[in-house]
Structure 1
Amino acid sequence: METGMQHKALKPWPLGWKAKIGILLPAHDTGYGSYEFRVLCPEGVVILETRVMGGRLTIEELKKMREDALHGAELLAVAEPDVICYIATAACFVLGVEGEKALVKEIYDRTGIQAASGGSSVTEALRFLGVKKMSMYVPTNEEITKMSVRYFEDQGFEVRDCESLGEECMANINRMSAWEHYGNVMKLYRRCPDVDGIFVTGGCFRILETIETLEKDTGKPVVMTTAANMWRCLQLVGVKDPVYGFGQLLEKAR
């Protein structure tokens, strides 16, 4: 009996034959974060994920995620990924530059697996693209946004402007369309065009599919959290395949 369902044949080679990337995903992620990582995967790369306890986007909640991230890393290590990435960018900004470095080191010390994190991945991506003066589009409240700006200033960047939604509830952020975010980023660019690049924080934003369009319309590199984390993980595991359609960061040789 015929059905309308299309069946995909399984690949003859094992999953993750090039690399296995382990991600520590905030529990409040409603699907965009893990989905976008899989969209960005080159052939032969597989994503393994563990949830890390996290609720609202408040300083208290983001700080609590640190200890659970260490436990999550130990769980991920059982599946033997080639790299473990703590992708919660805002949580990294709250820890600060040195606090984030300490967490990455502790993940490695506990698991013996190389580690990356959201803040450092974005930092390396911005430097790779030659960005020194930047603007930021973020979901967070004023206090966390100030900590995010301070994080990048401590890394040597000049933050020229920042647009914040002032949200603490992930559900509200998830309801926004990619094109609403596109419009907000374009307003930010028109207000402050004298930058080398634009950073869009938050894997909770559904904005990945607009990055290429934003780069064409602004003439600037646009670094988005999920793309930066994937770029850094692929760099660490030595996968050179370009990923097209989601901005110049993933298309360039790494």
Structure 2
Amino acid sequence: MTNAERVQAGQRPVFHYDGNGSLARVGLIFMASSVVMESEMWAMAAEGVSVHTTRIKLPKVTLEGIEQMMNAPQLEEAARLLGSAPIDVLCFGGTSASFLHGTAYDKALTKKLVSWAPGKKITTASTASLAALAQVKAGPVALATPYIDEIHQRAIRFLEENGHKVLRSQNLGINTDVELAEVSLDRVYDLCCAVDHPEATAIFVSCTNFRTAGAIEALETALGKPVVSAIQASFWHSLTLAGVKGAKPGFGSLMRDVTA
């Protein structure tokens, strides 16, 4: 029955889904120049899950640029603004920014976010990535990133200090945020295939402005092992913390338990 027929019959019309987060609302602190993480979260979100973003400025994807962003008062302001909204989970959407100085640094960031957004469940891209690797029972991994060498090496150090030996890795050497988002899924797919190692139990793809979600299922089919990306992990962990099954199918084995 069409809405016109419903109205004529004295019945209420059927409304279109409007993106309302009736199931869960995910709050995201994201870089002002970045575009990928929001769109991939929305692509993965099932009906009833919404994503709400506050942005902070990233001068450049270098150690100095990330340090500047993390030390700016904008970070606290963003967390407090986002925490004032009726969200269920607050996610800090920067992988390199949260693993920059290792695990202790990421945990300290989480404590700050808890104090700035009291009452909200909190995660970071780095925290979520470790939780995701544990979820897929990963041991040694292969690593793909778009980072410059200095940041790529810190990604290796972060993974290895958390028990995930990096058996093979490659990075693209990109230092501008806009360029990160322009890397095609074809190139991401080829990069992940190139880093695979026979003894790697999973592929990990770092960076939240680096397209991955659309290629994960194809990669898992081709490589026969879990593929975890920082964006996918962040969304999975946000849904897990919210306690909801709020993902669409088709985004990798990690998402199985939270698929609606």
> When the two structures are superposed, what TM-score results if normalisation uses the length of structure 1?
0.90
Change in Cα spacing, 1:253 to 1:38, as seen in structure 2 (3 Å) is closer
Deviation larger for 170-179 or 222-231: 170-179
1:186 to 171, 174, 193: 193
The aligned length equals 243
**Is residue 2:155 matched to residue 1:148?**
yes
**Is residue 2:179 matched to residue 1:172?**
yes
**Residues 102-141 of structure 1: pairs in structure 2 closer than 5 A:** 102-112=108-118, 113-141=120-148
Give the root-mean-square deviation of aligned CA atoms.
1.8
**Is residue 2:68 matched to residue 1:64?**
yes
The amino acid that maps onto 1:22 is G
State the distance in 1 between where 2:233 and 2:257 align.
Answer: 12
Give the match for residue 80 of structure 1: 86
After the TM superposition, which segments of 4 or more aligned residues of structure 1 sit over 6 Å from their partners?
A: none
Q: Is the 8 A contact 1:139 1:164 kept in 2?
A: yes
State the distance in 1 between where 2:15 and 2:250 align.
Answer: 25
Quick check: which has more Rg, 1 or 2?
2
Identity of aligned residues (%): 28
Shift of 1:241: 4.1
The amino acid that maps onto 2:66 is L
Shift of 1:147: 1.0
Shift of 1:64: 2.2
Could you list the per-position Cα deviations for residues 208-240 of structure 1 after superposition, in whole angstroms to 9, with x for gaps in the alignment? Answer: 111101001000100011110000000001102
Shift of 1:242: 4.8
State the distance in 1 between where 2:75 and 2:132 align.
Answer: 23
Give the match for residue 202 of structure 2: 197
Q: Structure 2 unaligned runs (5+)?
A: 1-13
Give the match for residue 5 of structure 1: none
Q: Is the 8 A contact 2:23 2:246 kept in 1?
A: no
Shift of 1:100: 0.9
Q: Structure 1 unaligned runs (5+)?
A: 1-7
2:250 to 240, 245, 252: 245
Shift of 1:104: 0.8
> When the two structures are superposed, what TM-score results if normalisation uses the length of structure 2?
0.88
